[in-house]
Amino acid sequence: MAGAGGGGDGDPDMIRLLDRDDVDAFTQLRREALLDSPLAFASSPDDDVAAEVGAARAQLERAPDAVVFGAFEDTLVGMLGLGRDRHLKSAHKAHVWGMYVAPHHRRNGLGARLLEAAIEHAQSLPGVEWLQLSVSSAAPGARALYESAGFLPWGSEPDALRYGGEVTTELHMALRLDLANP
């Protein structure tokens, strides 16, 4: 896996798949993400299924078709989910979701390394040809990261999210995996 360090959670600058032992750290970081960047996620702390320990544990046990990567700098400071479409007719697509890096750990390449790991994992899934995601207009840094990895926009949804009197547009993007260079 790209950028993966050695041993356990304490290794600095490590990217690895989260597992059931990471459920508490995952739910805590997920809640932080929803509070820190409310217009970057469709979920809110009050309705986020992934923040429930049982649902989070189930999410972390669905590999290889659904995984969550974690970025560690002593503790979990970043995450990115990837899930293959469950429908037979669209199983050639996988989706990136829940990308977040804690504010005090941004701008040091962790987001790019998480995305690189997700792209490599998607490329390892038999039959997956496309990686798709949606990014909020409230997250221009995330959009720039996705574009630098080769994602191209294919559509947008105006008035996609509303929070605190603000409105955001969701930009839908896709990456053809045989053209990707993680």
24-36 pLDDT, tens per residue? 999 999 999 999 9
Closest CA to 50 of 112, 97, 115: 97
Placement of tokens 């080769």 in the chain:
150
Rounded to the nearest angstrom, the gap between the alpha carbon of residue 137 and the centroid of all alpha carbons in its chain is 16
Question: What pLDDT is recorded for position 181?
Answer: 67
List helix spans (H) across the chain. Answer: 23-36, 53-59, 110-124, 140-148
Q: How confident is the model at residue 62 (pLDDT cuts 50, 70, 90)?
A: confident
67-77 pLDDT tens trace? 999 999 989 99
Confidence category of residue 13, pLDDT binned at 50, 70, 90: low
Token digits for 13? Answer: 């600058």
Say how far apart CA 174 and CA 131 lie, in whole Å: 6
Q: pTM for the whole thing?
A: 0.89
CATH domain 14-179 topology: Aminopeptidase (3.40.630)
Tens digit of each residue's pLDDT (9 = 90 or more) over 1-10: 444 433 344 4
The single residue listed with the structure tokens 């053809």 is: 176
One-letter identity of residue 83: G
- Which residue has tokens 């630098």? 148
Residue 89 φ/ψ, nearest 5 degrees: -70, -15
Q: What are phi and psi of 41, to 5 degrees?
A: -135, 140
What pLDDT, on the 0 to 100 scale, is given for residue 5? 39
**Hey, how many other C-beta atoms are within 10 angstroms of the C-beta on 122?**
24
Domain locations along the chain: 14-179
Band of pLDDT at residue 127, cut at 50, 70 and 90:
very high
Give start and end residues of each alpha helix (H) in 37-105: 53-59
